[in-house]
């Protein structure tokens, strides 16, 4: 489908500067824009590309004033980021939707699957599972005994949901994620071997959660590992048994949380953060990349480093760390000067 600048401006309540009949049929980055593409400027450091892009239409803020000639038609908007999100959501909604239940899927007679669900080739749905209205189960997904998948939830190819777990409504779980594998529990024996501790709980994922590819969330030893509503987890994340993550918390890739720790709501955990077992993280906490947390963190605090320090303490310490070679040389010079003065006495 093609859209003119006039149509897009009307949809977004924007103002056209240039050819109102300029048309687009795709979207692109501003630096890689081609004719027929719609692009946008949200970060001032990319302004240089406004003047060189071949894109037909560029979304810009109301206060943007060109410093050079440009070929693209502009659409001025009060909030470019929000407008881009609106357009992407509309574009995504217009894409063809998966429908129907494949004859090559294996669905237990004791499972309940809503008629309007999509179930792809070689998906397996075990006895007692419930798949609610509008859910999408892509090829090679495994849904174990007694699992519940909420309405509108999407399980992409290769997702594995172990028995007894609960997935809320409108969740997205990306390819290869494993929900409900055994927690890492072993009891050491005098002879150096280990007894496996049975993991008898489950995983509960509430509504509107998104879980990245190849992320693993372990079932609880008893009770439940809980991911509260609105949580967003990136790819390659490990969540241990009996962990609880609060509402609307976000984490980047390769973060790991050991068993029985709790993270509050609206936290941000950057990439490769590690949280030890039995640690409590408060609400609205921010933890910088590669930080290691082995003690509780109060509400609203910021942590960096390993072991993690309060934000300003870390920055002050880092200012010293990077100057250590110079400081070492200065100390050696001072030591020589002191020694020389002592020898003269």
Count of C-beta atoms within a 10 Å radius of residue 335? 10
Angle at 315 between CA 311 and CA 320, to 5 degrees: 145
Whole-Å CA distances, 73 to 11, 50, 90, 204: 16, 10, 21, 49
User: CB burial class (10 A; 0-12, 13-18, 19+) of residue 36?
Assistant: middle
Rounded CA-CA distance 155/292 in Å is 31
Contacts 24+ apart (CB under 8 A), 285-290: 286/311, 288/314, 289/252
List of residues 6+ apart from 103 with CB closer than 8 A: none
Look up 241 and say whether it is catalytic: yes
Buried b vs exposed e over 197-226: b needs ≥16 C-beta within 10 Å? Answer: eebebbbbbbbbbbbbbbbbbbbbbeebbb
Element (H, E) at 186: strand 186-188
Torsion on CA atoms 83, 265, 174, 205, rounded to nearest 10: -130
Return the DSSP state at 225.
E
List of residues 6+ apart from 285 with CB closer than 8 A: 263, 264, 267, 268, 297, 298, 299, 300, 301, 302, 303
Check 174, 241, 278, 315 and give the catalytic one: 241
Rounded CA-CA distance 270/305 in Å is 12
At 303, is the secondary structure helix, strand, or coil? strand
CB 211 within 8 A of CB 246: no
Question: Among all residues, which ones are annotated catalytic?
Answer: 241
């Amino acid at each position: 489908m093609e859209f003119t600048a006039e149509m897009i401006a009307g949809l977004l309540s924007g103002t056209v500067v240039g050819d109102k009949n300029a048309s687009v049929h795709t979207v692109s980055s501003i630096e890689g824009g081609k004719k027929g593409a719609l692009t946008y400027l949200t970060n001032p450091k990319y302004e240089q590309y406004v003047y060189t892009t071949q894109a037909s239409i560029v979304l810009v803020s109301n206060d943007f004033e060109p410093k050079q000639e440009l070929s693209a038609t502009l659409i001025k908007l009060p909030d470019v980021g929000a407008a881009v999100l609106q357009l992407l959501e509309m574009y995504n909604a217009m894409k063809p939707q998966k429908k129907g239940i494949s004859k090559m899927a294996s669905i237990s007679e004791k499972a309940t699957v809503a008629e309007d669900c999509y179930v792809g080739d070689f998906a397996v749905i075990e006895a007692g599972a419930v798949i609610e209205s509008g859910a999408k189960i892509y090829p090679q997904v495994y849904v174990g005994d007694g699992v519940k998948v909420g309405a509108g939830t999407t399980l992409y190819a290769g997702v594995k949901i172990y028995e007894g777990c609960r997935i809320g409504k409108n969740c997205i779980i990306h390819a290869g994620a494993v929900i409900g594998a055994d927690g890492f529990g072993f009891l050491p024996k005098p002879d150096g071997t280990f007894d496996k501790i049975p993991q008898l709980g489950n995983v509960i994922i509430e509504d509107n959660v998104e879980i990245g590819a190849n992320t693993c969330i372990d079932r609880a030893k008893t009770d439940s590992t809980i991911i509260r509503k609105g949580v967003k987890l990136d790819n390659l994340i490990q969540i241990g048994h009996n962990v609880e993550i609060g509402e609307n918390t976000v984490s980047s890739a390769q973060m790991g949380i050991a068993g029985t720790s709790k993270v509050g709501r609206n936290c941000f955990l950057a990439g490769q953060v590690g949280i030890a077992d039995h640690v409590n993280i408060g609400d609205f906490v921010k933890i910088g990349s590669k930080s290691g947390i082995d003690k509780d963190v109060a509400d609203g605090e910021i942590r960096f480093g390993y072991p993690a320090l309060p934000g300003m303490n870390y920055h002050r310490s880092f200012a010293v760390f990077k100057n250590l070679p110079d400081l070492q040389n200065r100390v050696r010079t001072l030591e020589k000067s002191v020694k020389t003065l002592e020898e003269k006495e």
